[in-house]
Amino acid sequence: MSVFSAFLGFLFNLFEPVFRLGQRWLGASRIGWLFVGPNLVIISIFTFLPIVVNLVYAVTGGVNLLPTQRPFTGLENFAILLECRDYADLQTCRTDIFWRSIANTVKFSLIQVALMVFFSLVTALVLNRKIIGRGFWRGVFFYPVLLSPVVVALIWKWLLQNQGVFNAGLVAMGGSPMDWLLDRHWAFFWVIVVSIWAHMGFYTLILLAGLQAIPRDVYEAAEMDAAPPWRVLTRITLPLLMPNLIVVLVLVMIRAVQSFDEVFVLTGGGPGSATTFIVQYIYQTGFAEQIHLYGLAAAASLILAAGLMALTLAQLRLSKAGEAGKIKK
Amino acid sequence: MANFFTRTRGRAHGGTRLHWTDWLSYAYLLAGLIVMFGPVLWLVMSSFKTESALSQFPPTFLPYTQKEAVVAGYDKPLPLFRAKDEQGRVRELAQVRRIGLVATMVDPAAPQTEIRVNINDRKPVNELKFASGNYTEIFGKFAFGTYLWNSVFITVVATILTLLFNSMAAFALSKYQFTGQKTVFVLIIATLMIPPTIILVPAFLVISELNLLNNLWGVILPAVATPTGVFLLRQYMLTIPDELLEAARMDNASEWRIYWKIILPLAAPAMAVLAIFSFMWRWNDFLWPLIVLSKSEHFTLQLALNAFQGELNTQWHYLLAMTVITLIPITLVFAFLQKYIATGIASAGVK
Amino acid sequence: MATLELAKVVKTFEKTTIIHGVDLTVSDGEFVVFVGPSGCGKSTLLRIISGLEPASSGDIRIDGQRVNDVSAAHRGCSMVFQSYALYPHMSVYDNMAFGLENLGVAKSIIESKVNAAATLLQLAPLLQRKPTQLSGGQRQRVAIGRSIVREPKLFLFDEPLSNLDAELRVSMRAEIRDLHARLGATMIYVTHDQVEAMTMADKIVVLRAGRIEQVGSPLELYNRPCNQFVAGFIGSPRMNFVPAAEMPGAKAGAQTVGIRPEHAQLSNDGPLQLQVSQVEQLGSTSILHGKVVADAPFELILSGQTSIKRGDTVRVSAPAGQLHYFDQNGLRL
Range B200-208 average pLDDT = 90
Residue B4 has pLDDT above 50, yes or no: yes
The total of structural domains in chain C comes to 2
Instruction: Tell me the residues of chain B between 7 and 36 that have a Cβ less than 8 Å away from chain C.
Output: 13-15
Global pTM reads 0.83
* Mean pLDDT (chain B, rounded): 84
Residue A289 has pLDDT above 70, yes or no: yes
The pLDDT value given to residue B153? 95
Quick check: A282 contacting B, CB < 8 Å?
yes
Q: Is residue C332 part of a domain?
A: no
The pLDDT value given to residue B348? 59
The pLDDT value given to residue B346? 66
Kindly report, residue by residue over C20-40, the tens digit of the pLDDT: 999 999 999 999 999 999 889
Contact B42 A159 (CB under 8 A): yes
- Asked whether A156 and B343 are in contact (CB, 8 A), the reply is no
Q: Is residue C333 part of a domain?
A: no
The pLDDT value given to residue B17? 58
Indicate if C226 and C132 belong to the same structural domain.
Answer: yes
Residue B6 has pLDDT above 60, yes or no: no
Instruction: Tell me the residues of chain A between 170 and 199 that have a Cβ less than 8 Å away from chain B.
Output: 171-172, 177, 197
Range A303-309 average pLDDT = 91
Instruction: Tell me the residues of chain A between 67 and 96 that have a Cβ less than 8 Å away from chain B.
Output: 67
Residue B350 has pLDDT above 50, yes or no: no
The pLDDT value given to residue B11? 37
The span from the CA of A305 to the CA of B214, in Å, is 27
Nearest to C89 among A222, A224, A327 (CB): A327
Quick check: B250 contacting A, CB < 8 Å?
no
Among candidate residues B191, B343, B189, the one with its CA nearest the CA of residue B277? B343
Indicate if C172 and C90 belong to the same structural domain.
Answer: yes
Backbone angles phi, psi at C57, to 5 degrees: -160, 170
Residue numbers in C near A327 (CB within 8 A) = 88-89, 132
> Where do the structural domains in chain B lie, given as residue ranges?
2-46, 68-124, 142-348
pLDDT winner (highest mean) among A273-277, B190-194, C266-270: A273-277
The pLDDT value given to residue A13? 77
The pLDDT value given to residue A322? 62
Q: What is the radius of gyration, based on Cα positions, of chain B?
A: 30
Q: Which residue would you say has higher pLDDT here, A217 or B338?
A: A217
Contact C69 B15 (CB under 8 A): no
Contact B284 A147 (CB under 8 A): yes
Kindly report which listed range (A22-26, A229-233, A291-295) carries the lowest average pLDDT score. A22-26
Mind spelling out the 3-state secondary structure of chain B?
CHHHHHCCCCCCCCCCCCCHHHHHHHHHHHHHHHHHHHHHHHHHHHHCCCHHHHCCCCCCCCCEEECEECCCCCCCCEEEEEEECCCCCEEEEEEEEEECCEEEEEECCEEEEEEEEEHHHEEECEEECCCCHHHHHHHHHCCHHHHHHHHHHHHHHHHHHHHHHHHHHHHHHHHCCCCCHHHHHHHHHHHHHCCHHHHHHHHHHHHHHCCCCCCHHHHHHHHCCCHHHHHHHHHHHCCCCHHHHHHHHHCCCCHHHHHHHHHHHHCHHHHHHHHHHHHHHHHHCCHHHHHHCCCHHHCCHHHHHHHHHHCCCCCHHHHHHHHHHHHHHHHHHHHHHHHHHHHHHHHHCCC
DSSP structure string for C9-48:
EEEEETTEEEEEEEEEEE-TT-EEEEE-STTSSHHHHHHH
Indicate if C75 and C173 belong to the same structural domain.
Answer: yes
Residue numbers in B near A202 (CB within 8 A) = 345
Indicate if C142 and C242 belong to the same structural domain.
Answer: no
B partners (3+ CB pairs within 8 A) are: A, C
Indicate if C220 and C287 belong to the same structural domain.
Answer: no
The pLDDT value given to residue B15? 44
> Where do the structural domains in chain A lie, given as residue ranges?
2-58, 97-324
Quick check: A6 contacting B, CB < 8 Å?
no
Range B169-181 average pLDDT = 87
CATH of range B142-348; options 3.20.20.70, 3.90.1860.10, 1.10.3720.10, 3.40.640.10: 1.10.3720.10
CATH number at residue C117: 3.40.50.300
Residue A324 has pLDDT above 80, yes or no: no
Among candidate residues C164, C198, C190, C167, the one with its CA nearest the CA of residue C37? C190
Kindly report, residue by residue over B290-325, the tens digit of the pLDDT: 999 988 889 999 999 998 887 766 788 888 989 999
CATH number at residue C257: 2.40.50.140
Nearest to A226 among C87, C99, C130 (CB): C99
Quick check: A13 contacting B, CB < 8 Å?
no
Pseudo-torsion of CA B110, B113, B118, B122, nearest 10°? 0
Q: Is residue C331 part of a domain?
A: no
Interface residues from chain A to C (CB-CB < 8 Å): 215, 217-218, 220-228, 231, 235-236, 239-240, 242, 325, 327-328
The pLDDT value given to residue B38? 92
Residue B12 has pLDDT above 50, yes or no: no
Kindly report, residue by residue over A227-264, the tens digit of the pLDDT: 998 999 999 999 999 988 988 988 899 899 999 999 99
pLDDT by residue for chain C (333 residues), tens only, comes to 589 999 999 999 888 899 999 999 999 999 999 999 988 999 999 999 999 999 999 999 999 899 999 988 889 899 999 999 999 999 999 999 999 999 888 999 999 999 999 998 999 999 999 999 999 889 999 999 999 998 898 999 999 998 888 888 998 999 999 999 998 999 999 999 989 999 999 999 999 999 999 999 999 999 999 999 999 999 888 999 988 888 887 788 888 899 999 998 888 888 888 889 999 999 999 999 999 887 889 999 999 898 888 888 889 888 888 888 888 887 887
Say what percent of chain B tops pLDDT 70: 92
Residue A323 has pLDDT above 70, yes or no: no
The pLDDT value given to residue C207? 94
Kindly report, residue by residue over B109-126, the tens digit of the pLDDT: 887 888 888 888 788 888
Residue B9 has pLDDT above 60, yes or no: no
Q: Which residue would you say has higher pLDDT here, A180 or B338?
A: A180
Range A282-304 average pLDDT = 89
Q: Does domain A97-324 have CATH number 1.10.3720.10?
A: yes
Indicate if C188 and C303 belong to the same structural domain.
Answer: no
Domain that holds residue C124: 4-231
Contact A168 B57 (CB under 8 A): yes
The pLDDT value given to residue B3? 52
ipTM of the complex in this document: 0.84
DSSP structure string for A13-31:
HHHHHHHHHHHHHHHHHHH
Range A254-276 average pLDDT = 90
How many other C-beta atoms are found inside a 10 Å radius of the C-beta of residue A252?
Answer: 24
The pLDDT-based confidence of B179 (bands split at 50, 70, 90) is: confident
